């Protein structure tokens, strides 16, 4: 690890989860992870404890060599999109209060993200303002809200705020709700990656990346399948020019406008991602406490990467992405 410290003074995990116990209890029966309440999850055991106890997360971080973690709501089990707007807003506020509390108690170790109640954009913008006042500068977004993906016009005010204020959007699907994906837990194995393809396509084709050039987005799970199958999208533009009405370049060229986390579970996939978009567009993603391999171990096993590339991924890219957004204590570890 010391081999790439020149590019990464501190390691920063951009993908660590937490749960609010009360929100979890209310939302879990509606989540894809419980098959919409028919397969309840246990709320006991070490993994659950790490989701609700910041001290246990810090022990994990210390063991792995992680200086700071971006914490985001584990929305595959506590997504609030099922709720009516007023309750969704209340639940979102509880999640954000918990994120802000962890940051306040451990300002050098945690960087908080905020969720917003997308069922009512007026309430979403109100909660975003409240979250910003608490120091949360990363917006944790699902791929869609009740089938409306993030490129659609109803989210225009949100994307304008993210861009104009220099915030970072961390896009992490809260699960594909098609019942077909419940068999064999496909909602998790392939469903998340499909959702990432859909939301990136929405942002590209609806023109969000054109209207807000330079907007900071980080795609969970390395952007799913999107970075590896762009030839067909480019071909489609050539055969159907009308599909490019909101584009100024080929769909594949927009890959460089996103950032991605390294949480792809396979060293060859990580190598291919870096080859396609460059290490300076990739941040470290551990998916703590759900992943079975640590983010730095996966990074080390990607044999085709150089130490400079590993350094950018381990913390250099995140430090640049978050520059100017963090309080002093967290910035020291970024």
The pLDDT tens digits for 269-323 are: 999 999 999 999 999 999 999 998 899 999 999 999 999 999 999 999 999 999 9
φ/ψ of 72, rounded to 5, equals: -135, 150
The per-residue pLDDT of the chain, averaged, comes to 95
Structure tokens belonging to residue 26:
């209310």
The reported pTM is: 0.96
Three-state SS string across the chain, please? CHHHCCCCCCCEEEEEEECCHHHHHHHHHHCHHHCCCCCCCCCCCHHHHHHHCHHHHHHHHHHHCCCEEEEEECHHHHCCCCCCHHHHHHHHHHHHHHHHHHHHHCCCCEEEEECCCCCCHHHHHHHHHHHHHCCCCEEEECCEECCEECCCHHHHHHHHHHHHCCCEEEECCCCCCCHHHHHHHHHHHHHHHHHHHHHHHHHHHCCHHHHCCCCEEEEHHHHCCHHHCCHHHHHHHHHCHHHHCCCCCCHHHHHHHCEEECCCCCHHHHHHHHHHHCHHHEEECCCECCCCCCHHHHHHHCCCCCHHHHHHHHHHHHHHHCCCCCCHHHHHCC
pLDDT digits (tens, 9 = 90+) for 126-166: 999 999 999 999 999 999 999 999 999 999 999 999 999 99
Reply yes or no on whether the pLDDT at 327 is more than 70: no
The residue-averaged pLDDT of 199-220 equals 98
Reply yes or no on whether the pLDDT at 189 is more than 80: yes
CA-closest candidate to residue 299, choices 290, 74, 308? 308
Distances (CA, A) of 39 to 30, 182, 291: 11, 11, 21
**Alpha-carbon distance 35 to 107, whole Å?**
36
Instruction: Report the share of the chain in percent with pLDDT over 70.
Output: 97
**What is the per-residue pLDDT for 332?**
63
**Alpha-carbon distance 50 to 308, whole Å?**
32
Residue with tokens 């005010």: 157
φ/ψ of 288, rounded to 5, equals: -70, 135
Bridge partners of 218, per DSSP, are: 170, 259
**What is the per-residue pLDDT for 289?**
95
Which range is least confidently modeled, 40-49, 86-95, 109-118? 40-49
Confidence class of residue 324 from pLDDT cuts 50, 70 and 90?
A: confident
Reply yes or no on whether the pLDDT at 42 is more than 90: no
Per the rule left: phi > 0, alpha: psi between -120 and 50, beta: everything else, 224 is left
**Alpha-carbon distance 161 to 220, whole Å?**
21
**What is the per-residue pLDDT for 7?**
87
CA-closest candidate to residue 239, choices 229, 250, 228? 250
């Amino acid at each position: 690890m010391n081999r790439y410290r020149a590019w990464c003074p501190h390691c920063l995990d951009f993908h660590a989860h937490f749960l609010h116990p009360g929100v979890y209890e209310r939302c879990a029966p509606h989540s894809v992870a419980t098959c919409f309440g028919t397969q309840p999850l246990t709320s006991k055991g070490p993994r659950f404890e790490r989701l609700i106890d910041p001290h246990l997360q810090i022990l994990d971080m210390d063991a792995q060599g992680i200086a700071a973690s971006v914490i985001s709501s584990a929305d595959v089990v506590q997504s609030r999109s099922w709720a009516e707007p007023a309750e969704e807003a209340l639940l979102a506020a509880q999640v954000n209060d918990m994120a802000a509390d962890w940051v306040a108690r451990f300002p050098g170790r945690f960087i908080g993200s905020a969720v917003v109640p997308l069922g009512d954009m007026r309430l979403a913008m109100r909660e975003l303002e409240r979250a910003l006042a608490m120091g949360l500068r990363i917006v944790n977004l699902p791929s869609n809200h009740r089938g409306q993906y993030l490129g659609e016009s109803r989210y225009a005010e949100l994307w304008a705020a993210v861009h104009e204020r220099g915030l970072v959007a961390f896009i992490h699907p809260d699960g594909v709700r098609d019942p077909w994906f419940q068999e064999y837990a496909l909602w998790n194995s392939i469903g998340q990656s499909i959702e990432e393809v859909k939301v990136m396509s929405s942002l590209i084709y609806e023109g969000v990346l054109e209207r807000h050039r330079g907007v900071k987005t980080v795609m969970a799970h390395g952007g799913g399948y999107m970075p590896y199958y762009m030839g067909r999208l480019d071909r489609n533009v050539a055969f159907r020019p009308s599909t490019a009405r909101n584009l100024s370049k080929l769909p594949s060229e927009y890959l460089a406008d996103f950032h991605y986390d390294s949480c792809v579970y396979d060293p060859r996939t990580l190598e291919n991602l870096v080859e396609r978009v460059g290490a300076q567009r990739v941040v470290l993603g551990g998916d703590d406490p759900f992943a079975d391999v640590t983010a730095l171990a996966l990074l080390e096993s990607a044999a085709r990467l150089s130490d400079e590339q590993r350094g950018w991924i381990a913390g250099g890219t995140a430090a640049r992405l978050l520059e100017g957004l963090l309080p002093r204590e967290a910035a020291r570890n970024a």
